[in-house]
C-alpha cells in the first residue's frame, strides 16, 4: 500500500484549452499522466491530486476530466486549486455525495491513510506584483493586493484548522498536510501554513501550483524545521506521481 501525490493536471477534455502552448512538457500530458499512474499506482494505493484539475468553469464542463481522473488507478482524493471553478467550497458535501466511492473531495473534512489523517485546503500565497530593479532585487510590492491576500490566507487557515480539528477529534495524531498553493511566497521564510504544520507536527506538506523552471524554487522544498516539503506540480515531475508514504 502506498500514498502518492500529483498536482495540476490541468485537463481540458471539454474546454478549448490546448496545453501545448505552455511548453514541451505539456505536449500530450494527459497521456503521460495515464501512463505513469498506471505504471506506479496499484488499486490498493491512494493518489492525492493537489488541485487545478480542470479548465472547465462549471461542473458540467468538467465531467470528462473528472471521469479521466476516476479511471486512474487507486483511491483518488482531490484538493481544490485556484482554477477549479467547478468546485464551490461550500458545496463540497454535495460533490462527495455525487461521487461517493469514486472520488473524494478534500475540504473541511479529512481522509484516512493507515494511521495518518490527510488534511488540506487550497491555501493562498501573495504572488505580487513585486517591483524589481534592473538587477532583479525587490524594491516593493502591490500593497492593496497584499491586503487582499491576507484576507484569503485567513479564510484558508480557518478551513485548514477545521480539517485538523475534525481529524484530531477522531483521535488522529499523525498528519500529512496538502495545499494547492505553496506554503510560502518568494519573500517569506515562514507563513501561517508552515506554523500550523509545525503546531500539528505534520510529517509532510505537499503542494503544487508552481509552473515552469523559474517558479519551482518559489517556496520550501525538502526538510524545514523537521518537516518534509514536497512540490508535486505535474510539469515539475513530468507527470509522474511522487510517493509520499509507503
Contacting residues toward Fe ion, per CB under 5 A: 8, 52, 81-82, 209
Beta bridge partners of 116: 113, 174
The torsion angles phi and psi of 123, rounded to 5 degrees, stand at: 75, -175
Total residues found in the chain within this entry: 246
Query: Which C-beta is closer to Fe ion: that of 23 or that of 226?
Result: 23
Residue 13 CB, nearest distance to Fe ion (Å)?
A: 17
Query: Which C-beta is closer to Fe ion: that of 54 or that of 108?
Result: 54
Q: What is the 3-state secondary structure (H, E, C) of 59-97?
A: HHHCHHHHHHHHHCCCEEEECCCCCCCCCCHHHHHHHHH
Residue 173 CB, nearest distance to Fe ion (Å)?
A: 30
Q: Are 157 and 119 in contact (CB under 8 A)?
A: no
Residue 97 CB, nearest distance to Fe ion (Å)?
A: 26
Q: What angle do CA 229, 234, 239 make, to 5 degrees?
A: 115
Q: Which residue is nearest to Fe ion (CB)?
A: 52
The torsion angles phi and psi of 130, rounded to 5 degrees, stand at: -100, 140
Residue 7 CB, nearest distance to Fe ion (Å)?
A: 7
- Assign residue 51 a region (left: φ > 0; alpha: ψ between -120 and 50; beta: otherwise): left
Query: Which C-beta is closer to Fe ion: that of 7 or that of 74?
Result: 7
Residue 91 CB, nearest distance to Fe ion (Å)?
A: 20
Q: Return the residue matching grid coordinates 509507503.
A: 246
Query: Which C-beta is closer to Fe ion: that of 52 or that of 218?
Result: 52
Residue 24 CB, nearest distance to Fe ion (Å)?
A: 17
Query: Which C-beta is closer to Fe ion: that of 28 or that of 82?
Result: 82
Query: Which C-beta is closer to Fe ion: that of 52 or that of 156?
Result: 52
Q: Are 234 and 29 in contact (CB under 8 A)?
A: yes
Rounded distance between C-alpha atoms, residue 44 and residue 59, angstroms = 28
Amino acid at each position: 500500500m502506498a500514498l502518492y501525490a500529483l498536482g495540476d493536471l490541468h485537463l481540458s477534455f471539454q474546454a478549448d484549452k490546448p496545453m501545448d502552448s505552455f511548453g514541451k512538457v505539456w505536449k500530450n500530458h494527459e497521456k503521460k499522466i495515464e501512463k505513469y499512474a498506471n505504471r506506479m499506482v496499484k488499486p490498493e494505493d491512494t493518489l492525492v491530486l493537489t488541485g487545478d484539475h480542470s479548465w472547465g468553469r462549471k461542473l458540467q464542463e468538467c465531467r470528462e476530466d473528472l471521469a479521466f481522473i476516476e479511471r486512474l488507478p487507486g483511491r483518488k482524493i482531490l484538493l481544490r486549486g485556484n482554477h477549479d471553478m467547478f468546485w464551490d467550497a461550500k458545496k463540497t458535501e454535495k460533490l462527495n455525495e455525487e461521487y461517493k466511492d469514486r472520488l473524494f473531495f478534500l475540504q473541511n473534512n479529512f481522509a484516512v491513510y493507515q494511521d495518518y489523517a490527510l488534511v488540506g485546503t487550497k491555501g493562498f500565497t501573495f504572488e505580487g506584483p513585486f517591483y524589481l530593479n534592473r538587477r532583479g532585487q525587490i524594491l516593493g510590492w502591490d500593497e492593496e493586493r497584499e491586503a487582499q491576500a491576507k484576507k484569503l490566507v485567513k479564510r484558508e487557515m480557518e478551513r485548514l484548522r477545521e480539517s485538523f480539528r475534525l481529524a484530531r477529534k477522531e483521535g488522529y495524531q499523525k498528519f500529512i498536510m496538502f495545499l494547492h498553493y505553496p506554503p510560502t511566497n518568494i519573500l517569506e521564510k515562514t507563513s501561517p501554513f508552515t506554523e500550523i504544520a509545525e503546531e500539528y507536527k505534520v510529517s509532510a506538506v505537499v503542494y503544487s501550483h508552481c509552473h515552469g523552471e523559474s517558479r519551482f524554487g518559489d517556496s520550501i522544498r525538502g526538510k524545514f524545521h523537521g518537516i518534509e516539503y514536497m512540490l508535486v506540480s505535474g510539469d515539475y515531475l513530468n507527470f509522474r506521481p511522487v510517493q509520499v508514504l509507503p
